[in-house]
Amino acid sequence: MKFVHIADMHFDSPFINLSEKELLGDKRRLQQRKILKKIIEYIKEEKIENLFISGDLYEHKYIKQSTIEYINNLFKEIPQTKIYIAPGNHDPYLKNSYYNKYRWNENVKIFQGKIEKIETLEADIYGYGFDDFYCTNSGIEEIKIENKNKPQILIIHGTLDGANIEEKQYNSITTRKLEEIGFDYVALGHIHKPNYATNKIVYPGSTIALGFDEPGEHGMIVGNIEKQENSEETKIELKFISLDDEEFIKKEIDVTEINSKEELIEKINVIKIENNEYVEIILKGKRNFEINTYEIIKYIENERIIKIKNKTKIAYDLKKLANGTTLKGLFAKEILNKYEQKDLTEEEQEIIEKAIEIAFDALE
């Protein structure tokens, strides 16, 4: 049986933390639609029989009915393809969710908060959907495989081998247990980069990059799974197909030898950037002037530079300045006393450094 496996589309994501530039969120939401259309066209052309969607298809808090209708209308274009959806922590099956209150096309199966097995001629397909924004016990470990003469498939959203408390809140399951149960393919969702725990336990990653913490390719898994004749062995073939034409990358600039806002803007404006790249500029080194990233971004010519992050440190030597009798020296001495009184968090230290910078500029 042939299948496409996707996850983490996050339709109608607000992209709040992505950029200081206007309209980029709108562009990325349009890209989400374009990518789902690509997937549906591929399924049509290749006559794919099954589409596995392993959670976080949309953002429950932000999703619009018009977007749900767009998704469902695309599903209607592939009536011969069975679509299995296992809701995740961003799109749980709630009473007021579109999974519950919207009438989906007949070829769509949405799993709820109880493990369900769908028996088809080609495979037994198990699924589980979040019914809340957290899940600590899905009951997956209790599944017993009954028929090893056809492929056994699990579609689920969750954390594989979660170690800390936060990870365990999102349906933590272990590779070892999944292998013990005997699934021939586990279609996972939740992690936004492709990850093969084994060739049978797979995260396809998100179909579209949601920000600068998601570098690399984004797309879908295309697979074919068959039981070997007169054997319990399963033959499985998988390939990853990239879908997102855009890439989010970071570029660093050392400001240590830069002495003014104007000089910094000039340096940023000559950076070479490819047409398919969205770029976050990381400023590092020791700064010699106050840096306001929100102000600087307004003067950047290349629209592909969408974010600037300031990771610089103040250039002043406070201990040296504190030995002087000038106003700057007295101010530096006072600040050093504050440093010595308590352990500062990184955020508190940044605030103090910014205050020093502004004060020293005023004392020039």
Q: Residue range 307-311: average pLDDT?
A: 92
| pLDDT 10s digits, 325-354 | 788 788 878 877 776 666 777 777 777 777
pLDDT at 325 (0 to 100): 79
pLDDT at 321 over 90: no
Q: Is pLDDT larger for residue 18 or for residue 10?
A: 10
Q: Determine if residue 23 is left, alpha or beta; phi over 0 gives left, psi from -120 to 50 gives alpha, anything else beta.
A: left
pLDDT at 152 over 70: yes
What band does 234 get if pLDDT is binned at 50, 70 and 90?
confident
pLDDT at 20 over 70: no
Q: Residue range 234-252: average pLDDT?
A: 95
Q: Which domains does the chain have, with CATH numbers?
A: 2-242 (3.60.21.10), 249-362 (no CATH)
One-letter-per-residue 3-state SS of 205-259: CECCCCCCCCCCCCEEEEEEEEECCCCCCEEEEEEEEECCCCEEEEEEEECCCCC
pLDDT at 364 over 70: no
pLDDT at 21 (0 to 100): 66
- Residues 6 or more apart whose CB falls under 8 angstroms from that of 223 comprise 2, 3, 4, 5, 185, 236, 237, 238, 239
pLDDT at 182 (0 to 100): 94
| pLDDT 10s digits, 245-290 | 999 999 999 999 999 999 999 999 999 999 999 999 999 999 888 8
Q: Is pLDDT larger for residue 22 or for residue 67?
A: 67
pLDDT at 315 over 70: yes
pLDDT at 316 over 80: no
Kindly report the average pLDDT of the chain as a whole number.
Answer: 91
Terminal CA-CA length for the chain: 74
pLDDT at 201 over 90: yes
In the block, tokens 């940044």 appear at: 350
Q: Is pLDDT larger for residue 81 or for residue 228?
A: 81
pLDDT at 102 (0 to 100): 98
What band does 81 get if pLDDT is binned at 50, 70 and 90?
very high
pLDDT at 361 over 70: no
